[in-house]
């Protein structure tokens, strides 16, 4: 299915500013459906004087009329006149008689979507950017409750604001959707002075859990919240704006171990604020989970940091031991062990700096390449390391063995391929969705008679690439001079993890 942007821009009648406005509106389409207890469809004009549906929402507070999405479909003939009139006149239009949909009587309202040109100005676009239709099921009519009447009134006010360009609000911050209050979670209606005129049972329960044991209606929400926060040192500075309904912000209130998220939606009529809707949701458990995740992330980062420090300590001990030994063979073995430990330490150092268990392997390998200079100096060699292509982001399960294997290959190229001479060592990375291919080339003397070495380094590389990464490795001499090692690593694990 195409995205909202693709669907809107494909009609050829909307600008990028229109698309951005519709994205903000679609973020609250579910709120409109829940408040209105009706199905909501968003239509944009198409090139043939028709309309195409780009979004729709079903009410969680009532049975839906539309069991299949309209997104991407042209408007039905029986709805076109009403939508066209709302688009042409830039006014809200209601159906004069019941509209029948699959043998069910419905009432339809078409609302023009007007776009405000700036957050502080009063100018709006000369014509609507879209039309919203509200489809209410009339087959299950009954006497509505006070909450349903209030929700419906709130929906009507928001529709009026949409038609006047006052909703969505350009001044509202784009906060995270996680834990955002919904109409069914709790709704509080404020008048222009911030006095509660209605509080849904769920909203009242949330405040009761924070320690307020009276009725909210008739009370100042700001005063009630202030009493709950008495004695707290740190308070969100946006809280007064939310509890008075003066700004379209969102904040959390915490009292007695209970956290309630509040979102204010100022209600305006002809640009003047006449009240507000405050949505509330008990997010105590959600915040506890988030805090646990933060704690676990910090713990994991600290573990990686300590592992890195320990590995560096081991590398330092090996370096000291290498300097004190009198055997050249032992000194070389200790130096190689030191470099291998250092390569693993680089991966853990990178992991300790981020929140995920994935690493930017290009950054890791750039740091690992610095070891080449040390190897070259020890063998009277002048090596020019190069890297081309991109490895991309890899899980730590891939990064650690790959870093160690490539460090081993580059070290071998310097020690054996370029021993006592000057040359290049080039690492070329090519990555597709399913395969990572790495080539390590040097301009040295090449493999003796085309034979692959059987030393510890070669065994380590084979074990890491073939055993741990399920990849393949091939050594061959480049025509003329030098050696090329080709590694191919399947990325099935990464692909399956991304799909999940």
Residues 113, 248, single domain; the answer is: no
Residues 333, 466, single domain; the answer is: no
> Cα 117 to chain center, whole Å?
28
Residues 269, 326, single domain; the answer is: no
**What CATH number did the domain enclosing 491 receive?**
3.30.565.10
Domain span at 448: 374-500
| In 193-283, alpha helices (H) | 201-209, 221-228, 239-243
In this predicted structure, what is the pLDDT of residue 232?
A: 61
Residue 32 pLDDT > 90, yes or no?
yes
**Domain end marker among 164, 193, 213:** 164
203 token code pair: 């909203």
| Residue 361 buriedness (CB in 10 A; 0-12 / 13-18 / 19+) | buried
Task: Over range 145-167, report the average pLDDT.
Answer: 94
Is residue 174 one of the residues assigned to a domain? Answer: no
**Domain end marker among 246, 261, 282:** 282
| Residue 66 buriedness (CB in 10 A; 0-12 / 13-18 / 19+) | middle
> Cα 18 to chain center, whole Å?
23
pTM of the predicted structure, to 2 decimals? 0.67
Is residue 330 one of the residues assigned to a domain? Answer: yes
Task: Over range 439-443, report the average pLDDT.
Answer: 84
Contact 440, 413 (CB under 8 A): yes
Residues 193, 312, single domain; the answer is: no
In this predicted structure, what is the pLDDT of residue 34?
A: 95
Q: CA 161 → CA 80, 92, 473, distances in Å?
A: 23, 11, 65
Residues 411, 500, single domain; the answer is: yes
Residues in CB range of 215: below 8 A, 6 or more apart? 199, 204
Judged by average pLDDT, the poorest of 29-43, 48-62, 418-432 is 418-432
Is residue 178 one of the residues assigned to a domain? Answer: no
Average pLDDT taken over every residue of the chain: 84
Residues 89, 156, single domain; the answer is: yes
Task: Over range 63-78, report the average pLDDT.
Answer: 88
Task: Over range 276-284, report the average pLDDT.
Answer: 94
Model confidence over 179-214: pLDDT tens digits? 689 999 999 999 999 999 999 999 999 999 999 999
Residues 14, 157, single domain; the answer is: yes
What does residue 315 show for φ and ψ, rounded to 5 degrees?
-60, -40
**What CATH number did the domain enclosing 60 receive?**
3.30.450.280
Is residue 316 one of the residues assigned to a domain? Answer: yes
Question: Which range has highest mean pLDDT (205-219, 319-333, 461-475)?
Answer: 205-219
Is residue 360 one of the residues assigned to a domain? Answer: no
Is residue 56 one of the residues assigned to a domain? Answer: yes
CA distance 156 to 323: 82
Confidence category of residue 497, pLDDT binned at 50, 70, 90: very low
Residues 155, 261, single domain; the answer is: no
Judged by average pLDDT, the poorest of 175-179, 353-357, 489-493, 494-498 is 494-498
Residues 294, 275, single domain; the answer is: no
Q: Which residue has the higher pLDDT, 199 or 143?
A: 199
Residues 382, 470, single domain; the answer is: yes
Is residue 128 one of the residues assigned to a domain? Answer: yes
Q: Which residue has the higher pLDDT, 359 or 168?
A: 168
190 token code pair: 């404020």
Contact 258, 210 (CB under 8 A): yes
Residues 302, 315, single domain; the answer is: yes
Domain count, the chain: 4
Residues in CB range of 9: below 8 A, 6 or more apart? 16, 19
**Domain end marker among 164, 193, 220:** 164
Q: Which residue has the higher pLDDT, 184 or 495?
A: 184
**What CATH number did the domain enclosing 259 receive?**
3.30.450.20
In this predicted structure, what is the pLDDT of residue 37?
A: 92
Is residue 215 one of the residues assigned to a domain? Answer: yes
Residues 8, 122, single domain; the answer is: yes
């Amino acid at each position: 299915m195409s995205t909202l942007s693709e669907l809107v821009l494909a009609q050829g009648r909307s600008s990028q500013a229109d698309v951005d406005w519709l994205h903000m509106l679609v973020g609250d389409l579910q709120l409109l459906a829940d408040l209105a207890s009706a199905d909501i469809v968003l239509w944009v004009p198409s090139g043939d004087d028709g309309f195409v549906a780009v979004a729709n929402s079903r009410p969680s507070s009532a049975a839906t009329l539309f069991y299949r999405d309209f997104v991407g479909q042209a408007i039905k003939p029986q709805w076109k006149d009403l939508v066209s009139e709302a688009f042409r006149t830039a006014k809200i239009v209601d159906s004069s008689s019941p509209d029948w949909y699959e043998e069910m009587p419905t009432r339809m309202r078409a609302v023009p979507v007007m776009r405000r040109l700036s957050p502080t100005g009063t100018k709006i676009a000369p014509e609507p950017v879209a039309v919203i239709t509200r489809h209410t099921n009339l087959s299950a009519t009954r006497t509505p409750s006070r909450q349903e009447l209030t929700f419906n009134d709130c929906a009507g006010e928001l529709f009026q604001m949409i038609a006047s360009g006052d909703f969505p609000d350009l001044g509202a911050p784009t906060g995270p959707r996680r834990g955002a209050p919904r109409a069914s979670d709790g709704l509080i209606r404020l008048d222009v002075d911030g006095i509660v005129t209605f509080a849904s049972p769920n909203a009242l329960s949330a405040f009761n859990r924070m320690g307020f044991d009276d009725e909210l209606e008739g009370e100042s929400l700001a005063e009630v919240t202030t009493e709950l926060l008495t004695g707290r040192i740190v308070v969100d500075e946006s809280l007064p704006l939310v509890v008075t309904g003066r700004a379209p912000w969102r904040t959390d209130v915490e009292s007695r171990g209970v956290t309630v998220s509040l979102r204010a939606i100022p209600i305006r009529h002809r640009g003047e604020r006449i009240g507000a809707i405050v949505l509330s949701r008990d997010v105590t458990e959600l915040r506890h989970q988030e805090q646990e995740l933060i704690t676990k992330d910090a713990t994991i980062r600290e573990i990686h940091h300590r592992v890195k420090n320990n590995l560096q300590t081991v590398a330092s001990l090996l370096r000291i031991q290498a300097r004190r030994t009198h055997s050249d063979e032992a000194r070389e073995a200790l130096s190689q062990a030191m470099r291998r430990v250092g390569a693993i330490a680089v991966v853990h150092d990178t992991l300790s700096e981020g929140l995920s268990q994935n690493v930017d392997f290009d950054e890791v390998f750039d740091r690992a390449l610095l070891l080449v200079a040390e190897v070259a100096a020890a063998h009277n060699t002048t090596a020019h390391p190069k890297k081309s292509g991109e490895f991309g982001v890899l899980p730590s399960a891939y990064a650690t063995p790959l870093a160690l294997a490539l460090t081993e290959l580059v070290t071998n190229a310097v020690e054996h391929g370029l021993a006592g001479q000057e040359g290049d060592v080039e690492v070329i990375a090519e990555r597709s969705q399913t395969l990572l291919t790495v080539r390590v080339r040097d301009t040295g003397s090449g493999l003796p008679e085309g034979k692959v070495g059987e030393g510890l380094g070669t065994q380590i590389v084979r074990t890491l690439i073939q055993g741990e990464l399920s990849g393949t490795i091939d050594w061959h001499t480049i025509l003329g001079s030098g050696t090329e090692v080709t590694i191919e690593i399947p990325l099935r694990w990464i692909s399956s993890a991304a799909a999940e």
